[in-house]
């Protein structure tokens, strides 16, 4: 039985290598007498297509050019009990020492971008890692250190102590075309399948995915049908020239394995993020200062747009770059920096390509009339900033949102502000966790994210936060502002 199954699988694989075109029905394939004779494919309309080997896509150059610059990343993570969540005020100073710890391992992929050992991967591959090992395609293994991470784009930069390494050249991901061939290179399902190469096409651009965990994210993924599985995360997506067009990041699957949809962070986003991490040690993110949503058919009709594309401004942040440029609530942004915008994700991607202080042109429609303005980007404030699609705002690396009536009722509270996500920053460093509801900041009751920001700004030296954990226990933590 096993032999029969193996024969069937091999037959399918071999036929997949030979077949390049499929007719409507009754497809037959005539065996080629020689390479010059080509392959004859007949469809139901009795048309004959002659295909020589030169008509088949050739990925050998791209594969051989890029494969040596893709590495296997092995991580060790120590899981510990959360801190500062007990009823005992003593734990605010000394932490929770009663939960114990355990060690687990994971793996992913990475891409060498500089010959002196700089490697880009995904943030979720190295997040919370206590040890990172990198194995090159020549089987040499190095210990790596984290240079910096950016959870919002799921990009991380690590480094090994090595020289004269093979690298992959960055391509312009904006130039990618739908239907263009791409290769995914990585280590799916672990070390045994290192340096696996799969092929597919660009299925879509500017994709975002459901935000189930509520974390602040900047997403404008390249969607492909190149096979990507767990372990491919952080690996390379390259074009036929062997250039890097994206970092493979995620799949959508009901099984946990590849089911036809894979997603990569565009190389233009990656290049900007890692450049900032190398040059500044952190991401210098520009802020436009708007709360936006997709353009509906009703808005398109009202604004006299030819199609429901562009980004609708729900709110303009006071004192922000958009307000200074003259943008108003109800405007529809159609282009930024010469790039046409169709979705909220495309606006996020474009804004993320700029640095604070950069100037560019913004095109928008107001009351049916096209208009143009110059915008100078602000820096993202650690306390406050552009409101995300879910209504949350930034606060020292975390995202805050007014707690829902259902959550308040469950925790026995009348009002409070929920921590919906925790990224890198002082909140995470001092014990903040997702689901925690802030009730007091420096002894002052809070009910909205702006209340938290205002109380923190009033404090000259420190911020002391009191509230209730997602499990219903009282909790405390604090940090200095400097």
Positions annotated as catalytic residues are: 124, 154, 233
Sign, CA dihedral 384-390-391-392, equals negative
For residue 129, give the 3-state DSSP assignment. Answer: strand
Q: Got the DSSP string for 426-462?
A: HHHHTT--TT-EEEEETTEE--SHHHHHHHHHH-SSE
Can you name the residues that pair with 146 across neighbouring β-strands? 158
Rounded (10°) angle between helices 344-352 and 267-280: 30
Q: Give kind and range of the element (H or E) at residue 91.
A: helix 90-94
Listed in sequence order, the residues at least 6 apart from 10 whose beta carbon sits closer than 8 Å to its beta carbon are none
CA angle, 399 then 403 then 404, to 5°: 130
Place of tokens 């250039």: 243
Q: Calculate the CA dihedral of residues 445, 448, 452, 454 and round it to 10 degrees.
A: -100
For residue 472, give the 3-state DSSP assignment. Answer: coil
What is the distance between the alpha carbons of residues 65 and 167, in angstroms, rounded to a whole number? 9
Q: Six-digit token pair at 142? A: 């190095």
Q: Six-digit token pair at 94? A: 């000394």
Can you name the residues that pair with 327 across neighbouring β-strands? none
Give CA separation, 334 vs 162, 288, 328, 352, 387, in Å: 46, 14, 14, 17, 20
Neighbours of 165 (CB within 10 A): 20
| N- to C-terminal Cα separation, the chain | 69
For residue 105, give the 3-state DSSP assignment. Answer: strand
CA angle, 274 then 208 then 403, to 5°: 95
What is the distance between the alpha carbons of residues 161 and 142, in angstroms, rounded to a whole number? 7
What is the distance between the alpha carbons of residues 448 and 461, in angstroms, rounded to a whole number? 22
Give CA separation, 333 vs 41, 346, 358, 391, in Å: 49, 11, 18, 20
The conformation of residue 213, written as its DSSP 8-state character, comes to T
What is the distance between the alpha carbons of residues 449 and 435, in angstroms, rounded to a whole number? 14
Q: Got the DSSP string for 140-204?
A: -EEEEEEEEEETTTTEEEEEES--S-----B--GGG--TT-EEEEEE-TTSGGGTTEEEEEEEEE
């Amino acid at each position: 039985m096993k032999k029969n199954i193996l024969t069937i699988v091999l037959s399918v694989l071999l036929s997949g290598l030979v077949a390049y075109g499929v007719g409507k029905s009754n497809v037959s394939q005539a065996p080629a007498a020689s390479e010059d004779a080509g392959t004859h494919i007949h469809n139901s309309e009795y048309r004959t297509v002659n295909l020589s080997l030169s008509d088949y896509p050739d990925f050998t150059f791209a594969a051989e050019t890029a494969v040596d610059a893709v590495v296997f990343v092995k991580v060790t993570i120590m899981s510990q009990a959360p801190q500062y969540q007990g009823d005992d005020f003593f734990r605010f100073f000394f932490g929770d020492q009663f939960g114990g710890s355990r060690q687990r391992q994971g793996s992913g992929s990475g891409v060498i971008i500089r010959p002196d050992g700089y490697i880009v991967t995904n943030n979720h591959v190295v997040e919370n890692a206590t040890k990172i090992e990198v194995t090159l395609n020549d089987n040499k293994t190095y210990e790596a250190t984290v240079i910096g991470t950016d959870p919002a784009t799921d990009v991380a930069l690590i480094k090994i102590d090595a020289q004269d390494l093979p690298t992959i050249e960055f391509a312009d991901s904006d130039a990618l075309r739908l239907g263009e061939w791409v290769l995914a290179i990585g280590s799916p399902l672990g070390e045994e399948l290192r340096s696996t190469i799969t092929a597919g096409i660009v299925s879509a651009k500017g994709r975002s995915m459901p935000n189930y965990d509520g974390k602040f994210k900047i997403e404008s993924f390249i969607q492909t049908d190149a096979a990507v599985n767990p372990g491919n995360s952080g690996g390379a997506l390259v074009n036929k020239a062997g250039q890097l067009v994206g970092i493979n990041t995620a799949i959508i699957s009901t099984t946990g394995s590849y089911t036809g949809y894979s997603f990569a962070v565009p190389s233009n986003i990656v290049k900007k993020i890692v450049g900032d991490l190398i040059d500044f040690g952190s991401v210098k993110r520009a802020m436009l200062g708007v709360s936006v949503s997709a353009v509906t058919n009703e808005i398109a009709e009202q604004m006299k747009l030819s199609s429901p594309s562009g980004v609708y401004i729900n709110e303009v942040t006071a004192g922000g770059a958009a307000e200074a440029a003259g943008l108003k609530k109800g405007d529809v942004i159609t282009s930024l920096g010469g790039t046409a915008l169709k979705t909220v994700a495309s606006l996020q991607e474009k804004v993320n390509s700029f640095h604070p202080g950069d100037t560019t042109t913004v095109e928008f429609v107001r009351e049916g009339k096209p208009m143009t303005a110059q915008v100078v980007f602000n820096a993202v404030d650690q306390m406050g900033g552009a409101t995300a699609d879910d209504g949350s705002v930034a606060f020292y690396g975390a995202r805050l949102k007014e707690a829902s009536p259902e959550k308040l009722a469950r925790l026995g509270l009348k009002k409070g502000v929920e921590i919906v996500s925790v990224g890198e920053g002082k909140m995470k460093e001092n014990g903040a966790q997702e689901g925690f509801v802030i009730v007091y900041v420096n002894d002052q009751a809070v009910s909205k994210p702006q209340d938290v920001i205002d109380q923190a700004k009033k404090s000259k030296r420190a911020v002391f936060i009191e509230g209730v954990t997602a499990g219903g226990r009282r909790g405390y933590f604090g940090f200095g502002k400097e």
